[in-house]
Amino acid sequence: MLEIVRFCVTRNAVSEKNLLPNLFFTCPEAIFVFGDSLSDTGNLQIAFPGNPLTTLNPPYGESYTFTNEPGRNRYCDGRIVPDFIAQAFGFPFIEPILLKNVPGFPINFTHGVNFAYAGATAEPKTTFTPIYLEFELQQFFTYKAALSNSPQSSTPLSFVSNAAYLILEIGGDDFFYEYQKGVTPQTVLQNNVSNAVAALVSTVENLIQSGAKTIIVGNQPPQGCNPAILTANSGNPGLTKDSNGCLIEYNQVDIEFNSQLQSQLTLLQDLNLLGITIIQFDFYSAILELITNPAKYGFNPSTPLQVCCGFGGEYNFNPFVTCGNSGSVPLPSGGSIFVNITTAPNPQEYIQWDGVHFTQAAYKAIATFLLEGRFVIPAIIPGVNLAQACNLNFSQF
């Protein structure tokens, strides 16, 4: 069985070659965010207002009240990783680029912009979604050009070059859409992984060419531990589970994606030694750490794979009625039952939020890992700890 290598490195373990780009590292003055629903702070909600497929009803957003922001716009019970990173740096929350299109609504792009869209893919897959990583990149270039042509005192142009460019995760939807069509993990492994990696690496290359100095790239978390995928494959005798109860065949797709991504980003770093820092975050191992040792991080040890906001079954997830919605759920014995999922007790005890996304508590742990240098490569001078290097403040967590 394939195993991913955890990227925990100490300063002494990092080669002199890998230290060179970090000599030029400076703490970011802004954050530009790209990705999918794990990073979206409202773009999809603004792009498709009132669409029942994208509307987030209670209990989404129940764990945190965002002031100066419209409604429930995160696929979570509260904050997500970009929110915690912004708070640690003392920045305002990184608002979605489309917020500028909301009439009469104040925007604050003084420390970055969020270009992530829920449902976005790495490579173009317009059959499923009109949004993919290259689309997000072009929106960034349009924004950057507008700043260059009409500088705004509220968004200094210098922030663009002195920013951190965060791609926490993308590629998961490339695979998930295939799974929804009934495509097997083995086929996805053969047909989709390399293309998704290529799209992500190409984006990093384009960001470097456009002047980016610090780029944070997360790999793919283990989809074989995803309650929606576990539920869809319940009783499938052709699949095997690991000691955590996760589906090995699905996780192997992510492991291969992560292996290829690490190799190509490491090569890209070697080709850009002077002034460029590519920080790779091992999202896969970070999530496995929470699932394997839930009590260590304050989670209920009996629910690492169970959904907080859901209904019924081994994983408290039902595809017929999902978080924030109501409807009839078929019963195994026949007939159906009407459910209305408007509450989600004790989300702080859960890792899994709605079957696809994580809870605010889980994102807090992930952000802490990233900022404190756990599951991160390469090291950042004066260590692997961004929190120390940039004197970050976690008091708002």
pLDDT in tens, 208-231: 999 999 999 999 999 999 999 999
Q: Are strands 163-167 and 326-330 parallel, antiparallel or unpaired?
A: unpaired
Catalytic (active site) residue 37: yes
Catalytic residue from among 15, 336, 354, 395: 354
- pTM of this structure: 0.92
Catalytic residue from among 37, 83, 174, 285: 37
Kindly indicate the confidence band of residue 385, based on its pLDDT and cuts at 50, 70 and 90.
confident
Render the burial of 374-385: b for 16+ CB within 10 Å, e for the rest: bbbbbbbbebbb
Per-residue pLDDT tens digits for 154-171: 566 667 878 999 999 999
CATH code of the domain made up of 11-389: 3.40.50.1110
pLDDT of 1? 33
Q: Are strands 326-330 and 214-218 parallel, antiparallel or unpaired?
A: unpaired
94: left (phi over 0), alpha (psi -120 to 50) or beta: beta
Render the burial of 248-276: b for 16+ CB within 10 Å, e for the rest: bbbbbbbbbbbbbbbebbeebbeebeeeb
pLDDT greater than 60 at residue 244: yes
Are 380 and 388 in contact, with CB atoms under 8 Å apart? no
pLDDT of 315? 98
Catalytic (active site) residue 111: no
Catalytic residue from among 39, 254, 285, 357: 357
Q: Are strands 376-377 and 277-281 parallel, antiparallel or unpaired?
A: antiparallel
Of 54, 20, 19, 85, the residue nearest 218 (C-alpha): 85
Of 125, 162, 105, the residue nearest 36 (C-alpha): 125
pLDDT greater than 60 at residue 19: no
Q: How many whole angstroms separate alpha carbon 2 and alpha carbon 270?
A: 26
- The residue extents of the domains of the chain are 11-389
Whether residue 345 is preceded by a cis peptide bond, meaning omega within 30 degrees of 0, is no
Catalytic (active site) residue 36: no
Start-to-end CA distance of the chain, whole Å, equals 37
